[in-house]
Chains A and B, each alone.
Chain A
Amino acid sequence: MVSVRSDGYLPGTVTKSVKILVVGSFGVGKTTLIGAVSEISPLRTEEIVTQVSEGVDDLAGVDDKRTTTVAMDFGRITLDDTLALYLFGTPGQRRFWDLWEGLAEGAAGVLVLVDTRPGRLEASFEVFDQLEIGTELPFVVAVNHFPDTVPHSADELRTALDLLPDTPVLDCDARDRGSALAALTTLVQYAVDTSATGPADAPQHLPVSQEMVS
């Protein structure tokens, strides 16, 4: 394990970084989970995004695009002498999708944190819309267990969230380091399992050429 410098700087030997997105609705425990595993106190930063205004007071002829700032929390784990992992907590709502796209590019995968207590699951639906429409990133679903969470089977959740049969679904306690690390490990294992085995593999979505059709 790599020791963390007291001034928060990375060891000078680190040459690579990888990012994982932790997404979910407000209050689902993203920042708690990042704080449980991060070697630095979770930091907050902001990004400027352009968004279409959602208000009802649209004025005809007035540009309805405006910029807004979105806060995102992140943490860091130095995995070995040369590799740092960054965890980004981003809200999943539709209005934050601009932010999402920039972050998702080149990410190892997405940990989707959901709250299955009554009336809370619906807030996750937009997250899954975005995962299916906007990216091809591998993702796993972690149910954050609150004291009053009623257990559901993974199959029940797959049905409720309309997930593919092989999408991993697991329970976690976002406050617990071991539990949060287990969720991240499941995600990266899934990313390894579903990644192309090497350059010799045929590229996915190969366009069908004329010769092959005839």
Chain B
Amino acid sequence: MTPPDDRSREYRDSALRPYVLTKGRARPSRNTISVDTLLIATDPAPPLPISAGRQERALLAMCRGLLSLVEVAARLELPVSVVRVLASDLVDSGHLTARAGSPRSAQLPRELLQEVLNGLRAL
């Protein structure tokens, strides 16, 4: 049995500091994107501008299917906060479509909690 919090899968470090990837911005253009916001490339997607970086292209390619922001970040091995900034831009430009993640209310609607409960019981 491996230790529960296995520290051996170290995160790959990058020579580029995060702010380089986000062109100096620490915050996304919209605050509606959270870790579990679902993202998918808009179909058909407008072509990316020639100035788009490698990370934007990789992000868009990753989103050919439906994934949450945090899954995209893990698969691209980029920090969540960086992917949030990049994804916000791509939503703004119409390349990505975001489906609502967790509501930003203090408490979830009871009907939604009940649906989660029903789903867990059916597993």
A residues with CB within 8 A of B:
1, 5, 7-12, 14-19, 26-32, 40, 43-48, 69, 71, 74, 76-77, 79-80, 83-86, 88, 91, 102-103, 105-108, 136, 174-175, 181, 184-185, 188-189, 191-192, 195-198
Please, which residues of chain B bring their CB within 8 A of the CB of A14?
38, 66, 99
Q: Are A9 and B65 in contact (CB under 8 A)?
A: yes
Given A48-B79, A105-B104; A17-B37 close (CB under 8 Å): yes
Q: Are B80 and A45 in contact (CB under 8 A)?
A: yes
Q: Are A86 and B36 in contact (CB under 8 A)?
A: yes
Interface size on B, residues (CB 8 A): 51
Please, which residues of chain A bring their CB within 8 A of the CB of B120?
77, 79, 85, 181, 184-185, 188
| Pairs A–B under 8 Å by Cβ, sample size 28 | A10-B65, A10-B67, A14-B99, A17-B37, A17-B38, A18-B36, A27-B5, A30-B5, A31-B4, A44-B11, A45-B70, A45-B73, A46-B79, A47-B79, A48-B18, A71-B11, A76-B71, A79-B119, A80-B119, A84-B68, A85-B120, A105-B102, A106-B34, A106-B103, A184-B120, A185-B121, A188-B113, A191-B113
Give complex CA distance A105, B5 in Å: 24
B residues with CB within 8 A of A:
1, 3-6, 9, 11, 18, 34-38, 40, 65-68, 70-71, 73-75, 79-82, 99-110, 112-123
Closest to B35 in A: A103
Known: A18-B102, A106-B103, A195-B107; 16 extra A-B contacts, CB below 8 A, are: A8-B71, A14-B99, A17-B36, A18-B108, A18-B116, A27-B3, A40-B71, A45-B70, A48-B18, A69-B79, A79-B120, A84-B68, A102-B34, A106-B102, A195-B110, A196-B107
Q: Are A16 and B5 in contact (CB under 8 A)?
A: no
Please, which residues of chain B bring their CB within 8 A of the CB of A191?
108, 113
Given A44-B9, A189-B117; A86-B70 close (CB under 8 Å): yes
Q: Are A77 and B123 in contact (CB under 8 A)?
A: yes
- Determine which residue in A8, A11, A18 has the highest number of CB atoms from chain B within 10 A of its CB, and name it: A18
A155 nearest CB across to chain B (Å): 26
A24 nearest CB across to chain B (Å): 9
Please, which residues of chain B bring their CB within 8 A of the CB of A136?
106-107
Q: Are A1 and B74 in contact (CB under 8 A)?
A: no
Please, which residues of chain A bring their CB within 8 A of the CB of B106?
136
- Determine which residue in B35, B67, B116, B123 has the highest number of CB atoms from chain A within 10 A of its CB, and name it: B116
B56 nearest CB across to chain A (Å): 18
Closest to B66 in A: A10
Q: Are B117 and A192 in contact (CB under 8 A)?
A: yes
- Determine which residue in A11, A16, A26 has the highest number of CB atoms from chain B within 10 A of its CB, and name it: A16
Closest to B100 in A: A16
B17 nearest CB across to chain A (Å): 10
Please, which residues of chain B bring their CB within 8 A of the CB of A85?
116, 119-120
- Cross-chain contact of B105 among A29, A88, A103, A106 (Cβ < 8 A): A106
Give complex CA distance A15, B101 in Å: 8
A176 nearest CB across to chain B (Å): 12
B64 nearest CB across to chain A (Å): 8
